[in-house]
């Protein structure tokens, strides 16, 4: 089937390739004729661009197989058009902090919005490609990605570097038994793929260790460039023997949370993920691109999970909100969603002021872009809302601190 597909694409390419060859021949014939040569070069670029829009990899490999220098024209045109396609939000299927309320007790969700400090490299499974080193992409939308299995392998490798061997109790709980094991125990940790919205090229030039001279010249590799942002999401769901005591279950979850936070920080900032991590690729900044969250399906009385604004800041925000309510003749500050605000009869200036005050409201969750406790749920059945403790962090170092404090509360039965 693949052979038939490329035979069909070759038929579509024939006109563009013929135009490119004719323009290249004209280019060679017009040596010394500046204007004619410039015109022929422009036609070569136009023909190469047309071929790239149809099928760049087939066009390039067609000329490379025939040892024609026209493969450079195709590659240059392809490089200029290199962009990353985005996956529609509806297909991402990634849980947010509100989903943890539907999980079993002591489950927790970690969301880390990171920024690449060094480019990310990986190896795609495609054999028919313009480069020998294509970046792994989602099959349908061709969006650069880190697969869930890639995250699992990178985290497992980082923990091994930290001294957590395969038979460590926390490793067995987090990742499950090895494939060779007869127990077949699944891990408690669930990973989600990460998608990027940028695509670029990285050039490496391997040198001979003895002579210090480049072995095969510069090598092009697809990459996600430095500075690109992404989201790492991990879900932990505990399970164990029915007869296990609550104290033992809390102790296991506490240990797993601490080990996981340590491994995440080491993987992202030290050991990296993807390909060529030993050369420094695939690492991120300790400072996150925006606030991350750790949401635990448990109630921890007295646990100060999230950094809160100073009291004076809260009072100032509430005072501004009260003035807005009085000025507009309202009974209370409306808890409107974006859609409800757009459907209101408020003008643009009034809507802008409402949005600014809503962001300062103590009950507004800017990360989830929603009210923390919807009015309908509060009025109908407030007692049915499962207890959830959510903590925020803006660096990976603070994630470890947050996990350690939460683990201490868990070991103490939810008390400080």
List Cα–Cα distances, 296 to 3, 153, 253, 259, in angstroms.
51, 24, 10, 16
Give dist(CA 111, CA 394) in Å, integer: 11
The helix/strand/coil state of 260 is helix
Q: How confident is the model at residue 1 (pLDDT cuts 50, 70, 90)?
A: low
Query: Is 380 a residue whose pLDDT tops 50?
Result: no
In this structure, are strands 145-146 and 194-195 parallel, antiparallel, or unpaired?
antiparallel
pLDDT tens digit sequence for 215-274: 666 788 899 999 999 999 999 999 888 888 989 999 999 999 999 999 999 999 999 999
User: In the beta sheet, which residues pair with residue 114?
Assistant: 230
Q: How many residues make up the chain in this entry? A: 416
> Environment class of residue 395 by beta-carbon count within 10 Å: exposed (0-12), middle (13-18) or buried (19+)?
middle
Question: Which run of H or E residues covers position 394?
Answer: strand 389-395
User: In the beta sheet, which residues pair with residue 393?
Assistant: 292
Q: How confident is the model at residue 146 (pLDDT cuts 50, 70, 90)?
A: very high
The helix/strand/coil state of 240 is coil
Q: How confident is the model at residue 379 (pLDDT cuts 50, 70, 90)?
A: very low
Question: Which run of H or E residues covers position 20?
Answer: helix 2-29
List Cα–Cα distances, 75 to 29, 48, 127, 282, 392, in angstroms.
23, 9, 17, 26, 45
DSSP, res 415: -
User: Can you say whether the dihedral through the CA atoms of 405, 406, 409, 414 is positive or negative?
Assistant: positive
Q: How confident is the model at residue 378 (pLDDT cuts 50, 70, 90)?
A: very low
Query: Is 103 a residue whose pLDDT tops 80?
Result: yes
Report residue 80: phi and psi, to 5°.
-70, -25
Provide the 10 A C-beta neighbour count for residue 376: 9
Q: Which residue in 193, 233, 230 sits closest to 109, CA to CA?
A: 233
The helix/strand/coil state of 281 is coil
The helix/strand/coil state of 256 is helix
The helix/strand/coil state of 297 is coil
In this structure, are strands 370-371 and 219-223 parallel, antiparallel, or unpaired?
unpaired
Please state, for a pLDDT cut of 70, what percent of the chain lies above it. Answer: 91
Q: What angle do CA 381, 386, 387 make, to 5 degrees?
A: 120
What pLDDT sits at residue 229?
Answer: 95
Among 68-82, 234-248, 375-389, whose mean pLDDT is lowest?
375-389
């Amino acid at each position: 089937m693949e052979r038939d597909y490329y035979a069909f694409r070759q038929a579509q390419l024939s006109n563009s390739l013929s135009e490119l060859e004719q323009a290249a021949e004209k280019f060679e014939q017009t040596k010394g004729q500046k204007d004619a040569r410039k015109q022929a070069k422009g036609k070569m670029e136009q023909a190469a661009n047309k071929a790239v829009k149809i099928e760049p990899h087939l066009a390039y490999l067609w000329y490379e197989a025939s040892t024609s220098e026209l493969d450079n024209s195709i590659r240059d045109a392809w490089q200029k058009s290199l962009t990353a396609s985005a996956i529609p939000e509806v297909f991402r299927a990634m849980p947010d902090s509100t989903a943890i309320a539907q999980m079993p007790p002591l489950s927790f969700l970690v969301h880390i919005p990171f920024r690449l400090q060094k480019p990310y490299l990986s190896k795609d499974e495609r054999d028919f490609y313009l480069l020998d080193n294509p970046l792994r992409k989602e099959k349908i939308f061709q969006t650069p990605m880190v697969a869930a299995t890639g995250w699992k392998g990178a985290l497992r490798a980082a923990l091994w570097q930290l001294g957590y061997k395969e038979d460590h109790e926390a490793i067995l709980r987090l990742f499950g038994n090895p494939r060779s094991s007869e127990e077949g125990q699944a891990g408690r940790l669930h990973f989600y793929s990460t998608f990027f919205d940028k695509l670029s090229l990285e050039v490496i030039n391997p040198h001979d260790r003895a002579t210090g001279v480049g072995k095969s010249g510069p090598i092009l590799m697809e990459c996600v460039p430095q500075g690109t942002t992404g989201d790492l999401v991990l879900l932990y769901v505990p399970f164990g023997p029915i007869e296990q005591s609550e104290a033992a279950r809390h102790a296991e979850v506490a240990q797993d949370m601490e080990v996981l936070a340590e491994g995440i920080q080491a993987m992202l900032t030290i050991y990296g993920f993807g390909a060529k991590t030993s050369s420094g690729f695939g690492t991120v900044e300790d400072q996150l691109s925006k606030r991350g969250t750790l949401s635990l399906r448990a109630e921890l009385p007295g646990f100060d999970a999230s950094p809160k604004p100073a009291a004076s800041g809260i009072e100032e925000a509430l005072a501004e909100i009260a003035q807005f309510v009085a000025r507009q003749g309202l009974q209370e500050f409306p808890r409107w969603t974006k859609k409800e605000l757009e459907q209101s009869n408020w003008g643009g200036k009034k809507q802008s002021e409402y949005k600014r005050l809503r962001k300062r409201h103590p009950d507004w969750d800017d990360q989830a872009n929603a009210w923390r406790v919807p009015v309908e749920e509060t009025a109908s059945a407030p007692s049915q809302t499962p207890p959830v403790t959510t903590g925020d962090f803006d660096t990976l170092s603070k994630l470890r601190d947050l996990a350690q404090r939460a683990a201490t509360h868990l070991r103490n039965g939810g008390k400080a």
